[in-house]
Amino acid sequence: MNDELNCKDTEITDSEERNGTVIETVELTISKPKVGTLIKCSDHSGFDQTPVPEITPLSDIYFIDRITVDGVEREEAYWKTYSTLEFYKDEKMKKGEKYTVFAKVKACPGYIFYDPVNLYVNGDLLSSEEVEDYTYEGDSFCFYYDIEAVE
């Protein structure tokens, strides 16, 4: 499945694609993980990590980017520690503990992100320190967000 197919249907010229309509605010909802959920991962790149964090964009002009490895596609969203940048693996989620979600947001063709973008996750405005790695084209960025496990 290609999320770009869900983007608004617009005709884009080469110059518009480089410049694009500026997105100043991005809003996402991340589902809170359930206590007892086991995060599994054996690949050093995190590609096989399960479960994938459930992230819902609140607009049709951006989406969670996707990555394909050996013909297998998944969202570019992971459980990853902010301090060490390591993927969680064999981690059972505990009540009251916070877990860090790392994900890449991509703009639909013809759009670019303002730098720094105002990123709201679950209604919280993230600090600019948690939003990073804007692409040269301005059409994607990565972010970190801590979320608490619930019963």
| Confidence at residue 6, expressed as pLDDT on a 0 to 100 scale | 63
Verdict on whether the full-model pTM lies above 0.75: yes
Lowest mean pLDDT of 5-9, 44-48, 128-132, name the range.
5-9
Q: Express as a percent the part of the chain with pLDDT over 90.
A: 75
Q: For 74-122, what is each residue's pLDDT tens digit?
A: 999 999 998 898 999 999 999 999 999 999 999 999 999 998 999 999 9
Helix/strand/coil (H/E/C) assignment for every residue in the chain: CCHHHHCCCCCCCHHHHHHCEEEEEEEEEECCCECCCEEECCCCCCCCCECCCCEEECCCCEEECEEEECCEEEECEEEECCCCCCECCCEECCCCCEEEEEEEEEECCCEEEEEEEEEEECCEECCHHHEECCCCCCCEEEEEEEEECEC
pLDDT value at position 8?
A: 58
Residue 18, pLDDT score: 52
